[in-house]
Amino acid sequence: MARSDPALEPVTVRPLQTTVDRQRGLETPRAAGVAGLAFAGLFIASIVLLRNSPSGASTPAEIRDFYLGEQAGRVSLVGVYLAPFSGIAFLWFIAVIRNLIGDREDRFFATVFLASGLLFVAMLFVAAGVGGALLAAVKFQDEPLPSQDAVVLVRSFGFGFLFIYAMRMAAVFMIVVSTIGTRLGIFPRWLVVTGYLAALVLILNVSYAALLTLVFPVWVAAVSVVILQAKPRAARSSRRGTARPSRLVD
């Protein structure tokens, strides 16, 4: 029987990148650890910059100065444009939490966790878009000045999405994350208790107090700080061979 020439046999080529990915997996970027802090800073800045927008108590002269003035409108417009970036940072924060949970993720809690987080971002975008709609129309589309009734309507619409819907979704997100944290033992007790109490305040709140919107970003920042502080401890424990994976409590 004739022997086949090895040079003529088909050669199986394995992509180098695929082989490398199988060996080391896809690593979480280190910068993702500060996603919660970025969200908190951008969200708070956006809320503060949008506070000076006209309300139902504003006079026609104040409304005209706001929309046609050089500084007041621009400051609020910066707040409108910061809102999407805060939502993007929050999406990264969701990914950080999921990476922290790892293979222990429960389908029930995972569904509520993702749904509440994504709905919060959606409500945030809607509220910011509505809040900046009149300002963008006047500044960029040369639309006439809105009437006082239009200002009240748009302001009430935006506040409704922010205080009634977005904050409720934020409260659900806090409850789920706190529940996951206490069941898996990945958060300290004080953070879990704070999360439950803050979520209760946001769910039962029926006012439009601007300070209450700061409860959620402050809590997210606290979670990020706990995660960032725990990573160096986990790395040191891993080098000593005594680490417990994904556990953030001492």
194 within a domain of the structure (yes/no): yes
- Please report where in the chains the tokens 């589309």 appear, as a residue: 141
Q: pLDDT (tens digit, 0 to 9) for every residue of the chain, 250 residues total?
A: 555 555 555 545 444 444 444 444 445 556 667 899 999 999 999 888 887 777 777 777 877 877 777 666 677 788 888 999 999 999 999 998 888 887 787 888 889 999 999 999 999 999 988 888 888 888 777 778 888 888 888 888 888 899 999 999 999 999 999 999 888 888 899 999 999 999 999 999 887 777 888 999 999 999 999 988 875 554 444 445 544 444 555 4
> Which residue range forms the structural domain that includes residue 54?
33-225
Q: Among 221, 202, 204, which residue's Cα sits nearest to residue 212? A: 202
Q: What is the pTM for the complete model shown?
A: 0.78
- Please report where in the chains the tokens 């026609």 appear, as a residue: 60
150 within a domain of the structure (yes/no): yes
Contact (CB, 8 A) for 155 and 56: yes
109 within a domain of the structure (yes/no): yes
8 within a domain of the structure (yes/no): no
16 within a domain of the structure (yes/no): no
196 within a domain of the structure (yes/no): yes
238 within a domain of the structure (yes/no): no
Number of domain units in the chain: 1
What is the C-alpha to C-alpha distance for residues 182 and 25, in angstroms, rounded to an integer?
Answer: 28
156 within a domain of the structure (yes/no): yes
